[in-house]
A = this chain, B = another copy of it.
Amino acid sequence: MSTATTVTSIPERLLLGSGPSPVPQRILDALATPTIGHLDPAFGALMDEVAAGLRAVFRTSNRVAIPISGTGSGGMDAMVVNFVRPGDRVVCGVHGLFGERMADALHRQGADVVRVEAPWGRAIPTESLVDAIAAGPTAAAFVVHGETSTGVAQPLDGIADACREQGALFLVDCVTSLSGHPLDLDAAGVDAAFSGTQKCLNVPPGLAPFTAGERALERVDGSSRSWYFDLSLVLGYWRDSESGGDGSAAPPRSYHHTAPINMVYALREGLALVSEEGLEARWARHATAHEALRRALAVLGLERLASADEALCPLLAVRPPQDIDEAAIRGALLRDHGIEISGGLGPLAGKLWRIGVMGVGATPEPQERLVGALATLLGRDADAALRELADGWSS
Protein backbone atom coordinates (compact mmCIF):
# COMPACT_ATOMS: atom_id res chain seq x y z
CA MET A 1 0.00 0.00 0.00
CA SER A 2 1.31 3.45 -0.88
CA THR A 3 1.22 6.42 1.38
CA ALA A 4 1.86 10.04 0.58
CA THR A 5 5.41 10.81 1.59
CA THR A 6 6.25 14.04 -0.23
CA VAL A 7 4.63 17.39 0.24
CA THR A 8 4.77 19.47 -2.89
CA SER A 9 4.90 23.18 -2.32
CA ILE A 10 2.86 25.32 -4.66
CA PRO A 11 5.04 27.91 -6.39
CA GLU A 12 3.94 31.45 -7.15
CA ARG A 13 2.96 31.79 -10.77
CA LEU A 14 1.76 34.57 -13.03
CA LEU A 15 -0.76 32.73 -15.19
CA LEU A 16 -0.64 34.24 -18.68
CA GLY A 17 -1.31 31.06 -20.62
CA SER A 18 -4.50 29.73 -22.14
CA GLY A 19 -6.03 29.27 -18.68
CA PRO A 20 -6.37 28.97 -15.78
CA SER A 21 -5.97 32.73 -15.48
CA PRO A 22 -4.80 34.67 -12.40
CA VAL A 23 -7.27 34.40 -9.53
CA PRO A 24 -7.74 37.61 -7.51
CA GLN A 25 -7.44 37.34 -3.76
CA ARG A 26 -11.09 38.34 -3.42
CA ILE A 27 -12.11 35.24 -5.34
CA LEU A 28 -9.72 33.00 -3.38
CA ASP A 29 -11.21 34.39 -0.18
CA ALA A 30 -14.72 33.65 -1.43
CA LEU A 31 -13.63 30.13 -2.34
CA ALA A 32 -12.48 29.57 1.25
CA THR A 33 -15.77 30.67 2.82
CA PRO A 34 -16.89 27.87 5.14
CA THR A 35 -19.00 25.32 3.31
CA ILE A 36 -22.77 25.20 3.83
CA GLY A 37 -25.25 22.59 2.68
CA HIS A 38 -26.55 22.36 -0.88
CA LEU A 39 -30.14 22.41 0.39
CA ASP A 40 -29.59 25.28 2.83
CA PRO A 41 -31.99 28.16 2.06
CA ALA A 42 -28.99 30.50 2.09
CA PHE A 43 -27.40 28.50 -0.68
CA GLY A 44 -30.62 28.66 -2.66
CA ALA A 45 -30.51 32.44 -2.48
CA LEU A 46 -26.91 32.38 -3.63
CA MET A 47 -27.87 30.15 -6.56
CA ASP A 48 -30.39 32.78 -7.65
CA GLU A 49 -27.67 35.41 -7.54
CA VAL A 50 -25.36 33.26 -9.61
CA ALA A 51 -28.08 32.66 -12.19
CA ALA A 52 -28.72 36.41 -12.46
CA GLY A 53 -25.01 37.08 -12.80
CA LEU A 54 -24.66 34.44 -15.50
CA ARG A 55 -27.61 35.87 -17.44
CA ALA A 56 -25.93 39.28 -17.37
CA VAL A 57 -22.57 38.03 -18.57
CA PHE A 58 -24.10 35.79 -21.26
CA ARG A 59 -26.44 38.63 -22.25
CA THR A 60 -29.47 36.43 -22.21
CA SER A 61 -32.91 36.41 -20.71
CA ASN A 62 -32.89 32.60 -20.63
CA ARG A 63 -34.51 31.16 -17.54
CA VAL A 64 -31.79 28.52 -17.37
CA ALA A 65 -28.36 29.95 -16.58
CA ILE A 66 -26.43 27.64 -14.27
CA PRO A 67 -22.99 26.32 -13.54
CA ILE A 68 -22.64 22.71 -14.66
CA SER A 69 -20.71 20.73 -12.01
CA GLY A 70 -17.67 20.05 -14.17
CA THR A 71 -15.05 21.99 -16.07
CA GLY A 72 -15.76 23.66 -19.42
CA SER A 73 -15.41 20.30 -21.16
CA GLY A 74 -18.11 18.97 -18.86
CA GLY A 75 -20.30 21.77 -20.18
CA MET A 76 -19.64 20.48 -23.68
CA ASP A 77 -20.71 16.97 -22.72
CA ALA A 78 -23.81 18.39 -21.01
CA MET A 79 -24.75 20.26 -24.18
CA VAL A 80 -24.33 17.19 -26.35
CA VAL A 81 -26.20 14.68 -24.19
CA ASN A 82 -29.14 17.01 -23.64
CA PHE A 83 -29.68 18.57 -27.06
CA VAL A 84 -28.41 16.04 -29.61
CA ARG A 85 -29.93 12.63 -30.28
CA PRO A 86 -28.36 9.68 -32.05
CA GLY A 87 -28.87 10.08 -35.79
CA ASP A 88 -29.24 13.85 -35.65
CA ARG A 89 -27.57 15.77 -38.45
CA VAL A 90 -25.32 18.29 -36.70
CA VAL A 91 -23.22 20.91 -38.46
CA CYS A 92 -19.97 21.35 -36.53
CA GLY A 93 -17.53 24.16 -37.21
CA VAL A 94 -13.94 22.97 -36.90
CA HIS A 95 -11.07 25.45 -37.04
CA GLY A 96 -9.02 24.32 -34.07
CA LEU A 97 -8.75 21.81 -31.26
CA PHE A 98 -11.98 22.77 -29.55
CA GLY A 99 -14.05 22.29 -32.68
CA GLU A 100 -12.30 18.93 -33.15
CA ARG A 101 -13.22 17.76 -29.70
CA MET A 102 -16.83 18.82 -30.17
CA ALA A 103 -16.92 16.79 -33.39
CA ASP A 104 -15.54 13.87 -31.36
CA ALA A 105 -18.19 14.31 -28.66
CA LEU A 106 -20.94 14.48 -31.31
CA HIS A 107 -19.69 11.28 -32.94
CA ARG A 108 -19.77 9.53 -29.57
CA GLN A 109 -23.38 10.66 -29.19
CA GLY A 110 -24.19 8.99 -32.50
CA ALA A 111 -24.81 12.19 -34.44
CA ASP A 112 -24.36 12.51 -38.19
CA VAL A 113 -21.60 15.12 -37.99
CA VAL A 114 -21.19 17.53 -40.89
CA ARG A 115 -17.82 19.21 -40.47
CA VAL A 116 -17.38 22.74 -41.79
CA GLU A 117 -13.72 23.57 -41.60
CA ALA A 118 -11.31 26.43 -41.83
CA PRO A 119 -7.53 26.32 -41.43
CA TRP A 120 -6.31 26.55 -37.85
CA GLY A 121 -5.77 30.28 -37.36
CA ARG A 122 -8.69 31.47 -39.47
CA ALA A 123 -12.38 31.95 -38.80
CA ILE A 124 -14.91 29.84 -40.69
CA PRO A 125 -16.73 31.82 -43.40
CA THR A 126 -20.31 32.35 -42.27
CA GLU A 127 -21.61 31.36 -45.71
CA SER A 128 -19.94 27.96 -45.41
CA LEU A 129 -21.80 27.33 -42.17
CA VAL A 130 -25.07 28.66 -43.57
CA ASP A 131 -24.77 26.53 -46.68
CA ALA A 132 -24.11 23.40 -44.64
CA ILE A 133 -27.08 24.11 -42.39
CA ALA A 134 -29.34 24.71 -45.39
CA ALA A 135 -28.20 21.57 -47.18
CA GLY A 136 -30.47 19.20 -45.30
CA PRO A 137 -32.69 18.65 -42.29
CA THR A 138 -30.44 19.74 -39.47
CA ALA A 139 -30.92 19.28 -35.74
CA ALA A 140 -28.20 21.62 -34.57
CA ALA A 141 -25.25 23.75 -35.60
CA PHE A 142 -22.27 24.23 -33.34
CA VAL A 143 -19.42 26.72 -33.41
CA VAL A 144 -16.59 27.69 -31.10
CA HIS A 145 -16.85 31.42 -30.48
CA GLY A 146 -13.35 31.78 -29.06
CA GLU A 147 -10.94 29.13 -30.41
CA THR A 148 -8.44 28.82 -27.57
CA SER A 149 -6.05 26.78 -29.68
CA THR A 150 -5.53 29.59 -32.21
CA GLY A 151 -6.75 32.88 -30.73
CA VAL A 152 -9.45 33.29 -33.36
CA ALA A 153 -12.93 34.71 -32.74
CA GLN A 154 -15.67 33.14 -34.83
CA PRO A 155 -18.39 35.60 -35.97
CA LEU A 156 -21.82 34.46 -34.83
CA ASP A 157 -23.97 36.78 -36.95
CA GLY A 158 -26.12 35.25 -39.66
CA ILE A 159 -26.05 31.70 -38.35
CA ALA A 160 -29.16 31.79 -36.18
CA ASP A 161 -31.48 32.60 -39.10
CA ALA A 162 -30.24 29.61 -41.06
CA CYS A 163 -30.76 27.46 -37.97
CA ARG A 164 -34.31 28.72 -37.46
CA GLU A 165 -35.25 27.88 -41.03
CA GLN A 166 -34.20 24.26 -40.44
CA GLY A 167 -35.56 24.03 -36.91
CA ALA A 168 -31.96 23.57 -35.82
CA LEU A 169 -30.51 24.67 -32.52
CA PHE A 170 -27.62 27.11 -32.53
CA LEU A 171 -25.02 25.88 -30.02
CA VAL A 172 -21.91 27.79 -28.98
CA ASP A 173 -18.70 27.19 -27.03
CA CYS A 174 -17.78 30.50 -25.39
CA VAL A 175 -15.28 29.11 -22.90
CA THR A 176 -12.53 31.64 -23.57
CA SER A 177 -14.61 34.57 -24.81
CA LEU A 178 -17.08 34.96 -21.97
CA SER A 179 -16.70 38.44 -20.42
CA GLY A 180 -13.50 39.13 -22.38
CA HIS A 181 -14.77 39.51 -25.94
CA PRO A 182 -18.01 41.08 -27.19
CA LEU A 183 -20.74 38.45 -27.00
CA ASP A 184 -24.52 38.82 -26.83
CA LEU A 185 -26.15 35.42 -26.93
CA ASP A 186 -29.70 36.67 -27.33
CA ALA A 187 -28.78 39.12 -30.09
CA ALA A 188 -26.91 36.34 -31.89
CA GLY A 189 -29.87 33.98 -31.52
CA VAL A 190 -27.89 31.34 -29.68
CA ASP A 191 -30.00 28.54 -28.19
CA ALA A 192 -27.44 27.14 -25.76
CA ALA A 193 -23.88 27.87 -24.77
CA PHE A 194 -21.25 26.68 -22.32
CA SER A 195 -18.18 28.33 -20.89
CA GLY A 196 -15.53 27.78 -18.23
CA THR A 197 -14.74 29.65 -15.06
CA GLN A 198 -10.95 29.72 -15.43
CA LYS A 199 -10.62 32.14 -18.32
CA CYS A 200 -11.87 35.74 -18.29
CA LEU A 201 -13.89 35.28 -15.10
CA ASN A 202 -10.63 34.58 -13.18
CA VAL A 203 -12.30 31.85 -11.11
CA PRO A 204 -10.43 28.58 -10.57
CA PRO A 205 -11.32 25.75 -12.97
CA GLY A 206 -14.12 23.40 -11.99
CA LEU A 207 -17.45 24.79 -13.19
CA ALA A 208 -18.99 25.28 -16.62
CA PRO A 209 -21.27 28.32 -16.90
CA PHE A 210 -24.15 27.12 -19.07
CA THR A 211 -27.31 28.57 -20.50
CA ALA A 212 -30.15 27.24 -22.62
CA GLY A 213 -33.26 28.82 -24.08
CA GLU A 214 -36.70 27.30 -24.46
CA ARG A 215 -36.10 25.96 -28.00
CA ALA A 216 -33.21 23.92 -26.63
CA LEU A 217 -35.00 22.88 -23.45
CA GLU A 218 -37.84 21.41 -25.51
CA ARG A 219 -35.41 18.65 -26.45
CA VAL A 220 -34.89 17.65 -22.81
CA ASP A 221 -37.12 14.67 -22.09
CA GLY A 222 -35.34 12.70 -19.37
CA SER A 223 -33.84 10.23 -21.83
CA SER A 224 -30.32 11.65 -21.70
CA ARG A 225 -27.66 8.98 -21.74
CA SER A 226 -25.90 10.73 -18.88
CA TRP A 227 -27.48 10.67 -15.44
CA TYR A 228 -25.11 13.32 -14.12
CA PHE A 229 -25.67 15.90 -16.86
CA ASP A 230 -29.37 15.24 -17.52
CA LEU A 231 -30.97 18.69 -17.37
CA SER A 232 -34.37 17.16 -16.59
CA LEU A 233 -32.82 16.20 -13.24
CA VAL A 234 -30.30 19.01 -12.80
CA LEU A 235 -32.93 21.72 -13.28
CA GLY A 236 -35.07 20.31 -10.49
CA TYR A 237 -32.29 21.50 -8.24
CA TRP A 238 -31.18 24.64 -10.08
CA ARG A 239 -34.66 26.05 -10.71
CA ASP A 240 -35.33 29.64 -9.75
CA SER A 241 -36.61 30.07 -6.29
CA GLU A 242 -39.99 31.79 -6.28
CA SER A 243 -39.00 34.15 -3.55
CA GLY A 244 -37.23 36.73 -5.66
CA GLY A 245 -33.83 35.98 -4.27
CA ASP A 246 -33.93 35.81 -0.50
CA GLY A 247 -34.79 32.14 -0.48
CA SER A 248 -37.07 32.40 2.53
CA ALA A 249 -40.34 31.62 0.78
CA ALA A 250 -38.94 29.32 -1.87
CA PRO A 251 -40.15 25.75 -2.20
CA PRO A 252 -37.49 23.19 -1.40
CA ARG A 253 -35.29 22.44 -4.38
CA SER A 254 -35.13 18.79 -5.26
CA TYR A 255 -31.85 17.06 -4.64
CA HIS A 256 -29.96 15.77 -7.66
CA HIS A 257 -26.26 15.84 -6.88
CA THR A 258 -24.37 17.78 -4.24
CA ALA A 259 -23.45 21.11 -5.78
CA PRO A 260 -19.77 22.13 -5.64
CA ILE A 261 -20.58 24.69 -2.96
CA ASN A 262 -17.25 26.49 -2.61
CA MET A 263 -16.70 26.75 -6.34
CA VAL A 264 -20.14 28.37 -6.60
CA TYR A 265 -19.05 30.91 -3.96
CA ALA A 266 -16.05 31.72 -6.13
CA LEU A 267 -18.13 32.00 -9.28
CA ARG A 268 -20.51 34.39 -7.53
CA GLU A 269 -17.55 36.57 -6.62
CA GLY A 270 -16.16 36.46 -10.15
CA LEU A 271 -19.52 37.50 -11.55
CA ALA A 272 -19.71 40.33 -9.00
CA LEU A 273 -16.37 41.63 -10.24
CA VAL A 274 -17.73 41.70 -13.79
CA SER A 275 -20.83 43.53 -12.65
CA GLU A 276 -18.78 46.12 -10.77
CA GLU A 277 -16.61 46.85 -13.80
CA GLY A 278 -19.44 46.72 -16.30
CA LEU A 279 -19.49 44.16 -19.07
CA GLU A 280 -18.86 46.55 -21.95
CA ALA A 281 -16.05 48.31 -20.11
CA ARG A 282 -14.54 44.89 -19.50
CA TRP A 283 -14.74 43.99 -23.17
CA ALA A 284 -13.08 47.30 -24.06
CA ARG A 285 -10.30 46.70 -21.53
CA HIS A 286 -9.61 43.28 -22.98
CA ALA A 287 -9.45 44.77 -26.48
CA THR A 288 -7.00 47.43 -25.32
CA ALA A 289 -4.89 44.89 -23.45
CA HIS A 290 -4.77 42.58 -26.45
CA GLU A 291 -3.70 45.32 -28.84
CA ALA A 292 -1.12 46.78 -26.45
CA LEU A 293 0.46 43.37 -25.91
CA ARG A 294 0.33 42.53 -29.61
CA ARG A 295 2.24 45.72 -30.41
CA ALA A 296 4.83 45.07 -27.71
CA LEU A 297 5.39 41.48 -28.83
CA ALA A 298 5.68 42.61 -32.43
CA VAL A 299 8.66 44.72 -31.33
CA LEU A 300 10.17 41.48 -30.06
CA GLY A 301 9.58 39.91 -33.45
CA LEU A 302 6.54 37.87 -32.46
CA GLU A 303 3.72 38.07 -34.99
CA ARG A 304 0.11 37.24 -34.25
CA LEU A 305 -1.36 34.18 -35.94
CA ALA A 306 -4.87 35.60 -36.34
CA SER A 307 -5.68 38.44 -38.69
CA ALA A 308 -6.68 41.73 -37.12
CA ASP A 309 -10.38 41.32 -37.89
CA GLU A 310 -10.52 37.77 -36.52
CA ALA A 311 -8.45 38.16 -33.37
CA LEU A 312 -9.86 36.87 -30.08
CA CYS A 313 -9.23 39.51 -27.40
CA PRO A 314 -8.59 37.13 -24.45
CA LEU A 315 -6.05 34.95 -26.26
CA LEU A 316 -3.12 36.32 -28.19
CA ALA A 317 -1.44 33.54 -30.17
CA VAL A 318 1.91 34.49 -31.69
CA ARG A 319 4.52 32.64 -33.68
CA PRO A 320 7.79 32.17 -31.74
CA PRO A 321 11.03 32.83 -33.64
CA GLN A 322 11.92 29.84 -35.80
CA ASP A 323 15.55 29.76 -34.67
CA ILE A 324 14.88 29.12 -30.99
CA ASP A 325 13.81 26.14 -28.89
CA GLU A 326 10.36 27.46 -28.03
CA ALA A 327 9.70 24.85 -25.34
CA ALA A 328 12.98 25.72 -23.62
CA ILE A 329 12.07 29.41 -23.58
CA ARG A 330 8.64 28.64 -22.15
CA GLY A 331 10.28 26.42 -19.56
CA ALA A 332 12.72 29.15 -18.56
CA LEU A 333 9.90 31.67 -18.42
CA LEU A 334 8.09 29.44 -15.95
CA ARG A 335 11.13 28.33 -13.95
CA ASP A 336 13.14 31.53 -13.79
CA HIS A 337 10.42 34.17 -14.01
CA GLY A 338 7.38 32.34 -12.63
CA ILE A 339 5.34 33.19 -15.70
CA GLU A 340 3.22 30.62 -17.50
CA ILE A 341 2.35 30.90 -21.17
CA SER A 342 1.04 28.03 -23.31
CA GLY A 343 2.45 26.27 -26.33
CA GLY A 344 0.70 25.24 -29.50
CA LEU A 345 -1.64 22.27 -29.80
CA GLY A 346 -2.14 19.69 -32.57
CA PRO A 347 -0.68 20.88 -35.88
CA LEU A 348 0.57 24.03 -34.16
CA ALA A 349 2.59 22.22 -31.48
CA GLY A 350 6.03 23.81 -31.35
CA LYS A 351 4.87 26.62 -33.61
CA LEU A 352 2.79 28.85 -31.34
CA TRP A 353 2.82 30.68 -28.06
CA ARG A 354 -0.62 31.21 -26.64
CA ILE A 355 -0.80 34.12 -24.24
CA GLY A 356 -3.80 34.78 -22.07
CA VAL A 357 -5.28 38.28 -21.85
CA MET A 358 -7.91 37.35 -19.34
CA GLY A 359 -9.57 39.32 -16.56
CA VAL A 360 -6.96 40.67 -14.14
CA GLY A 361 -4.32 39.36 -16.53
CA ALA A 362 -5.51 41.94 -19.06
CA THR A 363 -3.83 44.82 -17.21
CA PRO A 364 -0.50 46.64 -17.66
CA GLU A 365 1.51 45.24 -14.75
CA PRO A 366 1.40 41.52 -15.60
CA GLN A 367 1.94 42.36 -19.26
CA GLU A 368 5.03 44.41 -18.33
CA ARG A 369 6.43 41.44 -16.44
CA LEU A 370 5.83 39.17 -19.39
CA VAL A 371 7.27 41.52 -21.99
CA GLY A 372 10.34 42.21 -19.87
CA ALA A 373 10.99 38.54 -19.22
CA LEU A 374 10.45 37.50 -22.83
CA ALA A 375 12.78 40.26 -24.06
CA THR A 376 15.47 39.00 -21.68
CA LEU A 377 15.05 35.38 -22.74
CA LEU A 378 15.03 36.27 -26.44
CA GLY A 379 17.96 38.67 -26.10
CA ARG A 380 15.93 41.60 -27.40
CA ASP A 381 15.51 45.21 -26.31
CA ALA A 382 13.04 45.26 -23.46
CA ASP A 383 12.79 49.04 -23.29
CA ALA A 384 11.48 49.44 -26.82
CA ALA A 385 8.87 46.74 -26.30
CA LEU A 386 7.81 48.17 -22.94
CA ARG A 387 7.44 51.63 -24.50
CA GLU A 388 5.20 50.12 -27.15
CA LEU A 389 3.14 48.40 -24.45
CA ALA A 390 2.71 51.67 -22.59
CA ASP A 391 1.77 53.44 -25.80
CA GLY A 392 -0.79 50.75 -26.50
CA TRP A 393 -2.39 51.25 -23.11
CA SER A 394 -2.49 55.04 -23.43
CA SER A 395 -3.86 55.16 -26.96
A interface residues with partner B (beta carbon < 8 Å): 1-13, 15, 17, 19-20, 22-23, 28-29, 31-40, 42, 45-46, 48-50, 52-53, 55-56, 59-61, 69-74, 76-77, 80-81, 101, 104-105, 108-109, 196, 198, 204-206, 223-229, 245-247, 255-263, 265, 268, 271-272, 275, 334, 340, 342, 345
Q: Are B2 and A198 in contact (CB under 8 A)?
A: no
Report which residue of A8, A260, A261, A340 has the largest number of chain B beta carbons within 10 angstroms of its beta carbon: A8
Give complex CA distance A25, B13 in Å.
24
Instruction: Say which residue of B37, B56, B246 sits within 8 Å of A6 (CB atoms).
Output: B246
Give complex CA distance A35, B340 in Å.
12
Q: Are B6 and A72 in contact (CB under 8 A)?
A: no
Residues of B within 8 A of A28 (CB): 32-34
Q: Are B35 and A32 in contact (CB under 8 A)?
A: no
Q: Given the known inter-chain contacts A77-B226, A228-B70, please indicate yes or no for A35 contacting B52, CB distance below 8 A.
A: no
Residues of B within 8 A of A35 (CB): 15, 20, 22-23, 198, 204-205
Give complex CA distance A29, B246 in Å.
29
Residues of B within 8 A of A33 (CB): 10, 28
With both chains docked as a complex, state the minimum distance between the C-beta of A103 and any C-beta of chain B, in angstroms. 10
Instruction: Say which residue of B11, B36, B345 sits within 8 Å of A11 (CB atoms).
Output: B36
With both chains docked as a complex, state the minimum distance between the C-beta of A194 and any C-beta of chain B, in angstroms. 11
Extra contacts, 14 of them, besides A8-B49, A28-B34, A37-B340 (Cβ < 8 A), are A3-B53, A6-B246, A8-B42, A15-B37, A23-B35, A31-B31, A70-B70, A71-B259, A71-B260, A81-B226, A108-B224, A109-B225, A226-B226, A263-B263
Main SS class of interface, A: loop
Q: Are B38 and A13 in contact (CB under 8 A)?
A: no
Residues of B within 8 A of A265 (CB): 10
Q: Are B2 and A38 in contact (CB under 8 A)?
A: no
Closest chain B residue to A223 by CB distance? B108
Q: Are B20 and A205 in contact (CB under 8 A)?
A: no
Residues of B within 8 A of A206 (CB): 69, 206, 260-263
Give complex CA distance A17, B43 in Å.
15
Q: Are B258 and A72 in contact (CB under 8 A)?
A: yes
Residues of B within 8 A of A13 (CB): 34, 36-37, 40
Q: Are A74 and B228 in contact (CB under 8 A)?
A: yes
Q: Kindly list the 4 A-B residue pairs having the minimum CB-CB distance in the complex, ordered from nearest.
A: A206-B260, A32-B32, A73-B257, A105-B227
Q: Are A108 and B204 in contact (CB under 8 A)?
A: no
Q: Are B37 and A204 in contact (CB under 8 A)?
A: no
Give complex CA distance A81, B85 in Å.
17
Residues of B within 8 A of A3 (CB): 52-53, 56, 275
Q: Are B8 and A52 in contact (CB under 8 A)?
A: no
Report which residue of A72, A76, A225, A334 has the largest number of chain B beta carbons within 10 angstroms of its beta carbon: A225
Q: Are A260 and B257 in contact (CB under 8 A)?
A: no
With both chains docked as a complex, state the minimum distance between the C-beta of A70 and any C-beta of chain B, in angstroms. 5
Residues of B within 8 A of A50 (CB): 4
Residues of B within 8 A of A45 (CB): 6, 8
